[in-house]
Every structure is written in structure tokens, then in C-alpha cells.
A = this chain, B = another copy of it.
Amino acid sequence: MDKEDNTELNVIKNLSRIKHKIVILSGKGGVGKSTISANLAIGLSKKGYNVGLLDSDIHGPSIPKILGIEENKPDVTKTGMNPVIVNPKLKVMSMAFLLPETDTPIIWRGPMKMGVIKQFLGEVNWGDLDYLLIDLPPGTGDEPLSIAQLIPDIAGAIIVTTPQDVALVSVRKSVNFVKKMNIPVVGIVENMSGFTCPHCNKSVDIFKTGGGLKVSKDFLIPFLGKIPLDPQIVESGDSGETFIIENETTDSAKAFKDIIKNIEKHVKKKEVKYTK
């Protein structure tokens, strides 16, 4: 019991040096949550903020692959683990760094997983950060719940969805999940929204478009932007080059920048509210 209390205290103490803690979640997997988290983290760091990115997906940690830092290992020091440095402004921690080989499945029960997550929050030397982005596991189950409960004063939640109806059923669950947890919502991002054929330049709505906007209106929460389906994003993710840096002039990159502006606005509003 005492040990447990110390762990929670460590988390609070360690995270108290971080100004804005933002969770990124989705009602279902495969909507591009990790790709979006990685690009937002890079984007915020390029704006001069000190950023941390925590990949809290225990079973499918893909952030290191997306950022091209899979071969890196965090240093273990006497005061805790040092996250992997992506650039002078961006630090990353992920379960993927701790696995012996990438093919190994993590068949762990709930309590074991929570132990690792607590370490990621309480014993990683994040230092002083402007932003910590936490890429939550998909869904509304044990893991996102437990992680959200562990983090004190989350500044906001970004909910990622794809536009088709089947996905929107899940995103509505996510919105209610976040509300139940009393986490303020930054807004909804609609990913894989529309597609322009690179051969004929005509548009095809493979996964439809506009569903995320509809949900944001239904729930009266902000809509942060649409990111089109783009083979370049897939290629960037696979090759470890983040999309936003490599393709600054594309529609997708512009969409990411707008989302970043919305995050800045959101935390600013929150700061004003707290100092009033």
C-alpha cells in the first residue's frame, strides 16, 4: 500500500514539471492516432516548445518506427530512465524501446502493464517540458482508463477518427469516455479524410469525408481539422521520416499546422482561466 502511494507520488512529482499534458485517443485502432501524435510532437518542437512524446500503447507501440528511432535505447541512470532524443526539443519514450525484438508480443495482464506505465510517467527523466503528448492505446478499455486516471491535470484530449460511419460509432464512445473522466476536449481530428488520385487529380472519398465534423457538431466540441488520405503519409511513417517536416507545402502538412495552432489556443485559454 505504501509502495503504491509512493509510485503515485512519483508520477505527480515527475509530471509537475510539465506545463501541458495532452492525451491523444481514438475509439478504435488503425485511425492513424500514432502518426498524428508523432507529427504533432515534431510540429510543436519545431515551433520551439520543449516536447515529450509518450507512446503508451503496450501492445502495438509504433511511434519509434514512425519517427525512425527504433534502434535507439533509453539510458538507464540512477535517477531513472532517460527518454530517447529525437531533436534538441523532442524526447520520446515507448514500450518498443524495451522489447528484446520487435516481433515479441506483450502478453501481459492488466496489473503488469500498469506497472510499466507508472514507470513511464514517474521514473522517466522528462525534465521541464512545455508539452507532453500521450498517445493512448485505442478504445475505451482498461489501459486508456488507467493511464488517464494516473495523470494529474490533463490539459486536454485530442480525439482522432476516420470519417466512415462504423468508425464514428467508436468516436462517440470516446467523447463520452473523455467527458466521464472530466478531461477537457481540445477537439476532433478527422484522418484519412478524402483522397485525391495522383494520376488524374480527381477526388475519391474512400472512407468518406465529413463524419468527424458531424460528431463535433453533435457534441458541441471543436473540430480541429481534416487530414486527407495520402500515400506520402504512409510512406513517411514507414521510412521514419515524419510527414510534416518532409512535405511542408502539402494539404496534409497545412492541416497539421492548423491543428497545432488550435492546441496552442486551447492551452492558452486554459492558462487564462487558471490565472483569473
Binding site for B on A (CB under 8 A): 27-31, 34-35, 58-60, 62, 65-66, 102-110, 113, 137-143, 145, 162, 164-167, 169-170, 172-177, 180, 195, 197-200, 202, 204-208, 229, 231, 234-235, 237-238
Contacts and interface: CB of A to CB of B under 8 A. Distances in A.
Contact of A172 (B27, B103, B174): B103
25 contacts: A27-B59, A28-B62, A29-B30, A62-B166, A65-B166, A102-B169, A103-B172, A103-B175, A104-B176, A105-B174, A106-B173, A107-B140, A107-B145, A109-B142, A110-B142, A142-B142, A164-B237, A166-B238, A195-B206, A197-B204, A199-B204, A205-B231, A206-B231, A206-B234, A208-B234
Nearest to A66: B166
Given A59-B140, A139-B60, A142-B142, A107 B200 contact: no
Interface residues of chain A: helix, strand, loop or mixed (majority): loop
Contacts of A176: 103-105
9 smallest A-B Cβ distances: which pairs?
A30-B30, A29-B29, A105-B140, A200-B200, A59-B139, A165-B238, A105-B173, A197-B197, A105-B177
A207 B180 contact: no
Given A164-B234, A200-B202, A208-B234, 19 more contacts: A28-B60, A28-B62, A29-B139, A30-B30, A35-B166, A60-B169, A62-B166, A107-B140, A107-B177, A108-B142, A110-B142, A113-B141, A138-B138, A142-B142, A164-B237, A164-B238, A165-B238, A199-B200, A199-B204
Contacts of A165: 65, 237-238
A106 B140 contact: yes
B207 A141 contact: no
Contacts of A139: 29, 59-60, 137
A194 to B, nearest CB: 11
B107 A180 contact: yes
Given A102-B169, A164-B234, A164-B237, A202 B204 contact: no
A109 B110 contact: yes
B200 A60 contact: no
Given A31-B30, A164-B238, A206-B231, A169 B110 contact: no
Contact of A58 (B109, B141, B164, B199): B141
Contacts of A234: 164, 206-208
Contacts of A200: 197, 199-200, 202
A10 to B, nearest CB: 23
Contact of A60 (B109, B173, B206, B229): B173
A62 to B, nearest CB: 5
